[in-house]
Chains A and B, each alone.
Chain A
Amino acid sequence: MAQKNNSPWVDYVIFGLTIFLIFCLIFESFIDLPGLVAWMGRWHPLILHFPIVLLLMAAALGLFNRIVPNVLLTIATLSALVTAITGFFLGTESAPKGDLIFWHQWMGAGVAFLAVVWYWLSNNHLQQTYLVKGIQVVLILLVGLTGHYGGMITHGEDFLAWPKSKKLEKIPENPLIYEHIVHRVLDNSCIGCHNPNKTKGELLMTSIDELIKGGESGPALVIGDPVNSELIRRLHLPVEDEEHMPPEGKKPLSDNEIQILERWIALGASDTLKLSDLDNSEPLVGLVKKMMDSGTTNSWAKLPKVMDSTLQNLASDYITIKRISSNSQALSISVFLPPDYNSKNITDLKRISNNIIELDLSGIPIGEKEMELVAMCKNLEWLEVDRTPITDAEFIKLSGLAQLRVLKAYETGITDKSVAVLKDLKGLKSLYVWETQISGDGFAQLKEALPNLQLDYGIDPELKTEFIQKDSIVDSIQ
């Protein structure tokens, strides 16, 4: 059972390193490392593998009541101390220390100290006590946790996270350009390596001030001058270039995202700028809207899955069913009038009603049955029922279609009675209702209820007369 003791020199070395580590940890803020010593810190990622394997091996042997060879424990303890010390050196390179490094450092030190305690107990022939067993269990846990935190520092915090589609918050209607747009781009592509825990090139990208302060290569951002901003320069380098960001292998920014950063910098890199502050001709408006649009397609991600074969079965020469974009469950359906029309052609679509986002029934002799199908399409955003025989009785089915954005109902028989239904469609952006029985009073009510609605009741009468009255003839030349 009892092992022969090591030569006293080993004890002295372990004792010395322990004292040194304690000293380092206590006087951390006063230490300014010479270059060579700091360089030794760079060996931390190499050395750290030894204590992990050796300590786990030793602890496992001990827990299974096997003899722990003294030489194994000695080397494990020594390597744990060396790893903790080099780790401390490496840590001093990235001040201020983030949460991850803080925990990693103290747990790493804990591992080293526990190993020393175990070594001391073992040398004093207390190998088989419950105390040692406890130490072994705690060591295994602590080694795992320390390693995990270390991994998160090098590979990013979500490296081991459960693979899930990153839930992105919806961009508000009138976003703050920095907070909701620019920061989102940076967060997606840059902040993973430029945060307080992992600060590549000594550059933090978590705030505008940090971007201006910059890192090893100087300021990342020059207000008003995208061309001279290091951040933008690196985005534009060829992917093969060493300095290209994000580095090879990571997903590069899209053109749209790069242009958003450029325009935002050119406009002064403000953190209070809102989308509504920008003039309509400002390119940033279009860029931001494009990004927001791709956000709306995300809302279709929750739609139930629908098979291609289902679509093929329901489609015909007169019913075209298309996915709005590839790999999307959102459907766009156009119906054209077949020679032998039957309402069943349309009511059959109820199998996929939840997936229908756009539905074009223009000019089809639809009635109550078809409108019942429409009422089932809860996710409908775009509906065309113009030039159909529907009246108020059928139109009422539209109430409850909360997602409806565009509605074409011109040349139908609806009257002021339908205004109540329309008023409740809060999401409505465009409405086409010329050649209906809705009165001027009805329109006024509608405008009041939905101030943002684009209401189209036909071509401006004045303009129309100008077009109809006389053909324009250019006389000035002849």
Chain B
Amino acid sequence: MEEDKSKSENPLKVNRRHFFSQLSVGIGSLALGSLLIPDLFKGGKGPVASQPLGIPHFAPKAKRVIYLFQSGAPSQLESFDYKPTLVKRMGEDLPESIRNGQRLTGMTAGQDKFPLMPSAAKFSQHGKSGAWVSEFFPHIAKIADEICIVKSMQTEAINHDPAITFFQTGSQQSGRPSMGSWMSYGLGSENQNLPSFVVLTSRGKGNSQGLYSKLWSSGFLDSKHQGVLLRSGKDPVLYLNDPEGLSRSDKRHLLDHVSSLNKIHHVETGDDEIESRIAQYEMAYRMQMSVPDVMDIKKEPESIIKLYGEESQVPGTYAANCLQARRLAENGVRFIQLYHQGWDQHGNLPNEMAGQAKDVDQASAALILDLKQRGMLEDTLVIWGGEFGRTNYCQGNFDPKNYGRDHHPRAFSIWMAGGGIKPGITYGETDEFGYNIVKNPVHINDFHATIMNNLGLDHEQLIYKYQGRRFRLTDVAGNVVNDILT
């Protein structure tokens, strides 16, 4: 009823469907149509909205996610997918039976040969689980028994932008809400004084690809679910701090007046985004207090700083972001998205990747240990991985000391820890060339479904209807990978 009232008062709230449903009252044929198709003139909420929002559908295993995104796509062959066959068959052309029609990027499609290139990094087995980890990641190797390595990830995209967009939004084309926004939409905020979706970026020396704010956009969801980029340095959130000389009580008065004006405008137009805006001003006001507090890593004892590595004292580094991520997680941020750029090794892979690995290795492992001692691995899901894998053949000059690898969507490795994921296992297998998956493939839709499952959400039920179509993060696919759940 209230909805009807607000519609009659606010022309903005009448959409095309409401208009037609009003029209149908007088027009017999339309009325008949509505009899035949019960949903035909049902504006707004259908059966879709039956699940209450802001509450998990079932008891969750994880309350929050820390996603350590390695932007640019780290090579699985120099990290977690050990392939001795490549050493034996080094320099041989990739057999067509293995490539099997895989499309290539413009960067290697012109190559006459696809010579197999083994890893420059040595591999060894670690932990009770005997997981293979390369020497590029000595610290991650030490926590092998805490993580679940998935060696059978696969995607459909072959270039960075669609691939990273696919990972973040469930679609290769931009415009859909980011994972973090979906989680914020589905689970609500844990701490009203901080955004529920926070983004932290850092950049290594390796060849990098761009990052765009569309990756953490809320798409068609309410803009309050958008990811908030926290910058390093004096102003973590741009324009959050007041100009000098403005006291907090003056600010309060200002906000109260602006808010009353906005409310008048809302009554006139009925635009829901105005309410969002009022709420955001209020949150920003509280964030003026909460953000500096969370971002102040001076409160951390030296042993913790050292655990993450000396670099964690340098704002804007991956290590500092990892430490920051833990602090944000402690303070109830639902989805903390890190990006570390520079993993796109088309050439000079051994050198560049060693450098990239050095940036992230210790801090990633330290984050796991730190979360574990705080009991936070019990309800925090950590994910480490890039947007696709890299080819098993060499791009450019064939030089075992200085080679490159092109993009490879068919198989790559990521790892996850905590939050209802089985520790100390390796899941999925690729063939001896590391090119195709031979056991337990995990598609990105499955990956999303699994994460949502651990957060207590049924990926088939978290739906948002927009422009007449029902959207899910997993769209029309996705199966929970039960084998890796505790």
Contacts and interface: CB of A to CB of B under 8 A. Distances in A.
Contacts of A466: 142
B486 A467 contact: no
Interface residues of A, number: 53
A472 interface: yes
Contact of A334 (B332, B370, B375, B456): B332
Contacts of B211: none
Given A293-B59, A384-B375, A478-B351, 7 more contacts: A286-B486, A317-B193, A325-B56, A336-B193, A408-B374, A471-B362, A477-B351
Interface string A299-320: 0000000000000000011101
A317 B192 contact: yes
A474 B142 contact: no
A294 B190 CA distance: 23
B289 A287 contact: no
Interface stretch (A341-349, A368-376, A394-402, A457-465): A457-465
B354 interface: yes
Nearest to A332: B63
Given A410-B373, A432-B374, A297 B58 contact: yes
A323 interface: yes
A476 B135 contact: yes
Contacts of A430: 375, 378
B214 interface: no
A256 interface: yes
B60 A325 contact: yes
Nearest to A469: B306
A328 interface: yes
A356 to B, nearest CB: 15
Interface string A12-36: 0000000000000000000000000
A460 to B, nearest CB: 9
A468 interface: yes
Interface string B276-314: 000000000010010000000000000100110110000
Contacts of A322: 54-55, 188, 190
Contact of A474 (B58, B306, B358): B358
B58 A463 contact: no
A326 interface: yes
16 contacts: A255-B479, A283-B482, A286-B422, A286-B485, A290-B482, A294-B58, A317-B192, A318-B192, A322-B188, A325-B56, A410-B375, A466-B142, A467-B362, A468-B303, A474-B136, A478-B354
B263 interface: no
A36 to B, nearest CB: 46
Interface in A249-279: 255-256, 259
A280 B306 contact: no
A382 to B, nearest CB: 9
Contacts of B289: 339
A472 B361 contact: yes
A472 B58 CA distance: 43
B142 A463 contact: yes
B91 interface: no
A129 interface: no
B56 A467 contact: no
A275 to B, nearest CB: 13
A348 B188 CA distance: 23
Given A286-B483, A336-B332, A477-B351, A467 B193 contact: no
A148 interface: no
Nearest to A339: B289
B374 A410 contact: yes
B319 to A, nearest CB: 10
A320 B191 contact: yes
B57 interface: yes
Question: Interface residue tally of chain B, by bracket?
Answer: 35 or more
Nearest to B482: A286
A473 interface: yes
A328 B365 contact: no
Interface of A: 255-256, 259, 280-281, 283, 286-287, 289-290, 293-294, 296-297, 316-318, 320, 322-326, 328, 330, 334, 336, 339, 362-363, 384, 386, 406, 408, 410, 430, 432, 434, 456, 458-459, 463-464, 466-468, 471-474, 476-478
B251 interface: no
Contacts of A325: 55-60, 456
A432 B289 CA distance: 29
B357 interface: yes
A324 B62 CA distance: 11
Interface in B55-110: 55-60
A458 B373 contact: yes
The 10 A-B pairs with the shortest beta carbon distances in the complex, nearest first, are A468-B306, A283-B483, A432-B375, A317-B192, A474-B354, A472-B138, A408-B375, A326-B55, A286-B485, A477-B350
Contact of A289 (B120, B378, B486): B486
A160 B237 CA distance: 63
A326 B52 contact: yes
A205 B303 CA distance: 61
Contact of B372 (A456, A473, A478): A456
Contacts of B362: 467, 471-472
A287 B55 contact: no
Contacts of B479: 255
Contacts, number: 139
B425 interface: yes
Interface string B42-62: 000000000110111111100
A100 B350 CA distance: 76
Interface in B450-486: 456, 479-480, 482-486
B275 interface: no
B430 interface: no
B191 A334 contact: yes
Nearest to B369: A459
Contact of A477 (B60, B330, B354, B456): B354
Contact of A256 (B378, B482, B486): B482
A349 to B, nearest CB: 17
Nearest to B136: A474
A478 B352 CA distance: 10
Given A290-B485, A472-B358, A477-B120, A317 B373 contact: no
B482 A467 contact: no
Q: Which of A290, A317, A459, A467 neighbours the largest number of chain B CB atoms within 10 Å of its CB?
A: A467
B36 to A, nearest CB: 21
Interface string B363-382: 00110011011110010000
B307 A464 contact: yes
A324 B369 contact: no
A54 to B, nearest CB: 42
Contact of B310 (A317, A324, A471, A477): A471
A287 B485 CA distance: 8
Contacts of A296: 59
Nearest to A336: B191
B427 to A, nearest CB: 9
B120 A473 contact: no
Contacts of A286: 422, 482-486
B122 interface: yes
Contacts of A406: 375, 378
B373 A459 contact: yes
A384 B58 CA distance: 22
B22 interface: no
Contact of B422 (A259, A280, A290, A324): A280
A336 B482 contact: no
B300 to A, nearest CB: 12
Interface string B185-196: 000111111000
Contacts of B351: 477-478
Contacts of B52: 326
A297 to B, nearest CB: 5
A467 B139 contact: yes
B331 interface: yes
Given A410-B373, A434-B373, A323 B139 contact: no
A473 B309 CA distance: 12
B59 A334 contact: no
Contact of B51 (A294, A317, A326, A330): A326
